[in-house]
C-alpha cells in the first residue's frame, strides 16, 4: 500500500501531541502555514489537517489529489464547504471533545463577573487595599448566583452542560429560541423574552449569517441593566464595539469573552481598551484543557483512519 501523504497546516497549535495512523503515511508538519502558501503546501497531499488555517476554493482547485480535510477543531467556517463538495473533498471535524472544558470556562467567567472579581483584583494590584482605612475594600456591589436567571442561546452539549452547573448553584435557566423564529419550540422561550429576563446571557452557537452580530446595540438595550454577557463560542456573535459601549455606559454589568472576530486581535479591537471595567478576556483557551485536547487528538486520528478505511465519520454536510 502506497504511503498517504498528509500535511498539517498549523501543527504549532498542537505541537505537544504526536499523531499516528494505522496505515502507511508521510506526515508533513508545518508550524503555521501562511494563507498565501496553502495551495503550495497541499501539493501532492491526499489529506490536509488544519486547526484554523483557511483552505479556500483556489487551494482546492489547484490540488485535485486532495480527498480529505480533517479539521482539528469543531468550527469549520475557515473551509469553503461548498467548494469542497463540488470537488469531491470530504470535510470532517472534531465535535463534542470540549464540552466540559468550555462549560467550565463559561461558568468560571460567570461566577467571577457576578462577584466582580476583575474589579476588586485590579484595585488590590493598584494598592488600594493596602491604603484602606478599613479591613475591606468597598465599592462595586457583589451578587450571588442563587436566584439569578441564566439565559442560554444554544442548547447543544456545551449549553446544556453549563445549565447543569448553573442549576446546581440555584440559578433559573432559560433556553432562547432562534432570533426571529416564527414558532417557539417546547422547552424554549422567545429570543426577546430571554433577553429581557436574563441576569446572565451566554451564547453557545456556531457563527453563521443568521447568528452574526446576534447581540449588538439593539439587543443590549433590551436586556436588564447590569446584565452579564458571555461568549465562549465564536467571535462575531457579539458586536465588539457595541459591547464595549455597553460596558462603559453600565448597561452591561460585565462580560466574559474568549473569542474575537480577528484572532489574534488587532491592537484597535474595542475590547482591548483599558477602561471597560468588569471584563474577562481570555485568548481563545476555553476548549484547551489537557483532558479535552487528549480527546481531540483521538477523534482527529479516528476521523483520518476511518476515512482511509472507507468509512468516513464526523463528516460536515
Residues annotated catalytic, as ranges: 234, 263, 284
Residues 6+ apart with CB under 8 A from 25: 3, 4, 5, 6
β partners of residue 201:
151, 229
Residues 6+ apart with CB under 8 A from 132: none
Q: Which three cell numbers stand for residue 176?
A: 432562547
Rounded distance, CA 203 to CA 236, Å?
A: 11
Rounded distance, CA 156 to CA 23, Å?
A: 34
Nearest 5°: the CA angle 302, 308, 314 is 45
Rounded distance, CA 260 to CA 269, Å?
A: 9
Please, are residues 149 and 200 in contact by the beta-carbon 8 Å criterion?
Answer: yes
Give one DSSP letter per residue of 142-186, joined into a string. Answer: ---STT-EEEEE--SHHHHHHHHHHHHTT-EEEEBPPTT-SS--T
Rounded distance, CA 222 to CA 170, Å?
A: 25
Amino acid at each position: 500500500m502506497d504511503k498517504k501523504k498528509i500535511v498539517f497546516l498549523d501543527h504549532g497549535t498542537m505541537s505537544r501531541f504526536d499523531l499516528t495512523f494505522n496505515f502507511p503515511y508521510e506526515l508533513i508538519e508545518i508550524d503555521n502555514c501562511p494563507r498565501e502558501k496553502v495551495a503550495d503546501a497541499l501539493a501532492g497531499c491526499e489529506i490536509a489537517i488544519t486547526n484554523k488555517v483557511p483552505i479556500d476554493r483556489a487551494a482546492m482547485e489547484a490540488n485535485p489529489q486532495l480527498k480529505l480535510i480533517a479539521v482539528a477543531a469543531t468550527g469549520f467556517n475557515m473551509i469553503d464547504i461548498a467548494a469542497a463538495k463540488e470537488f469531491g473533498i470530504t470535510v470532517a471535524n472534531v465535535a463534542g471533545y470540549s464540552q466540559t472544558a468550555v462549560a467550565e470556562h463559561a461558568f468560571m467567567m460567570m461566577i467571577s463577573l457576578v462577584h466582580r472579581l476583575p474589579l476588586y483584583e485590579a484595585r488590590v494590584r493598584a494598592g488600594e487595599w493596602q491604603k484602606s482605612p478599613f479591613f475591606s475594600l468597598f465599592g462595586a456591589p457583589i451578587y450571588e448566583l442563587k436566584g439569578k436567571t441564566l439565559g442560554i442561546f444554544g442548547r447543544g452539549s456545551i449549553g446544556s452542560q453549563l445549565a447543569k452547573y448553573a442549576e446546581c448553584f440555584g440559578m433559573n435557566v432559560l433556553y432562547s429560541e432562534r432570533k426571529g423564529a416564527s414558532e417557539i419550540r417546547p422547552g424554549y422561550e422567545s429570543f426577546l423574552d430571554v433577553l429581557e429576563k436574563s441576569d446572565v446571557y451566554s451564547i453557545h452557537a456556531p457563527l453563521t449569517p443568521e447568528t452574526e452580530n446576534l447581540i449588538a446595540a439593539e439587543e443590549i438595550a433590551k436586556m436588564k441593566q447590569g446584565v452579564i454577557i458571555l461568549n465562549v463560542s465564536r467571535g462575531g456573535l457579539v458586536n465588539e464595539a457595541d459591547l464595549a459601549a455597553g460596558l462603559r455606559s453600565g448597561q452591561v454589568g460585565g462580560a466574559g469573552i474568549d473569542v474575537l472576530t480577528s484572532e489574534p486581535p488587532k491592537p484597535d479591537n474595542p475590547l482591548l481598551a483599558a477602561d471597560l471595567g468588569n471584563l474577562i478576556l481570555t485568548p481563545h483557551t476555553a476548549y484547551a484543557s489537557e483532558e479535552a485536547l487528549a480527546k481531540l487528538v483521538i477523534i482527529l486520528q479516528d476521523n483520518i483512519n476511518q476515512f482511509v478505511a472507507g468509512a468516513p465519520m464526523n463528516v460536515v454536510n
